[in-house]
């Protein structure tokens, strides 16, 4: 009877502890997950910027080709002009187009540098990404496997609790749970060296006699817990 009560208390405590453990995400895993998501996002951002820069670069090169075409046209016009007024006007056009060409050339150059840097960074990040992804998956998998294992333990413990409680009268069961609540999970206290192990108060010799006979429930005089006397370990 007391063995069962003691075991029941133990299993109830076990369930509470393991549930807490199962529902607490390890701090290092929260951090690992955040870091991994950041690395993924960084790769996405670089890729996006790279394709944007490539597009801008192609556009600038097309502009440059148009401008060079214009420059050639003005240069041939220059050779055919008749008046000095017309000559000055064409020279002006050439001046303007050359300024645009220089600006566009600078733009192409800086875009090419940007593209090259982005490609380098992307290659580097993409090289380490598969290993990082795998490592991340393994860590998550370990966590999920640990949770599954805990759930299995919980299932077994809950079945045992149910079985132990079904062997008690409803009144005893209610009484026991009331005591458990009142004593914060420790309703049954082991007797160690003739003392209550919860409050360390010595047990009267007469009460020890009753405990040793093992036929009645004895409460600790001091803390009012149910005393559990186990001849093997007392
Ligand atoms: Zn006590």
pTM: 0.59
Whole-angstrom distance, CA of residue 5 vs CA of residue 226: 9
SS3 assignment, position 225:
coil
pLDDT of residue 58: 97
Q: How far is the CA of 186 from the centre of ligand 1 (A)?
A: 10
Q: How far is the CA of 110 from the centre of ligand 1 (A)?
A: 81
Whole-angstrom distance, CA of residue 196 vs CA of residue 87: 115
pLDDT of residue 111: 97
Tokens found for residue 23: 């529902």
Whole-angstrom distance, CA of residue 108 vs CA of residue 105: 5
Q: How far is the CA of 188 from the centre of ligand 1 (A)?
A: 9
SS3 assignment, position 25:
coil
SS3 assignment, position 219:
strand
Q: How far is the CA of 206 from the centre of ligand 1 (A)?
A: 16
Strand runs labelled E in the chain = 188-192, 195-196, 226-228
With 0-12 / 13-18 / 19 or more C-beta atoms within 10 angstroms meaning exposed / middle / buried, residue 191 is buried
Q: How far is the CA of 202 from the centre of ligand 1 (A)?
A: 8
Q: How far is the CA of 17 from the centre of ligand 1 (A)?
A: 23
pLDDT of residue 234: 58
pLDDT of residue 69: 96
pLDDT of residue 33: 84
Q: How far is the CA of 203 from the centre of ligand 1 (A)?
A: 9
Q: Which residue ranges in the chain fall short of pLDDT 70?
A: 233-234
């Amino acid at each position: 009877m007391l063995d069962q009560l003691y075991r029941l208390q133990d299993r109830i405590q076990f369930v509470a502890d393991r549930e807490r453990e199962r529902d607490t995400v390890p701090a290092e895993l929260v951090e690992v997950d955040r870091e991994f998501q950041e690395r993924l996002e960084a790769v996405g951002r670089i890729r996006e910027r790279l394709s944007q820069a490539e597009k801008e670069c192609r556009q600038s090169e097309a502009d440059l080709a148009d401008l060079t075409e214009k420059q050639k046209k003005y240069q041939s016009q220059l050779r055919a002009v008749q008046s000095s007024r017309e000559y000055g006007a064409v020279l002006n056009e050439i001046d303007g187009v050359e300024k645009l060409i220089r600006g566009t050339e600078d733009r192409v150059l800086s875009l090419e540098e940007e593209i090259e840097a982005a490609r380098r960074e992307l290659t580097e990040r993409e090289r380490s990404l598969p290993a990082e992804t795998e490592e991340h998956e393994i860590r998550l998998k370990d966590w999920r496997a640990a949770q599954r294992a805990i759930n299995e333990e919980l299932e077994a413990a809950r079945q045992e609790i149910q079985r132990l409680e079904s062997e008690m009268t409803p009144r005893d069961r209610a009484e026991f749970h009331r005591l458990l609540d009142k004593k914060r999970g420790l309703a049954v206290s082991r007797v160690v060296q003739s003392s209550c192990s919860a409050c360390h108060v010595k047990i009267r010799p007469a009460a020890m006699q009753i405990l040793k006979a093992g036929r009645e429930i004895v409460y600790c005089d001091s803390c009012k817990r149910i005393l559990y006397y186990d001849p093997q370990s007392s």
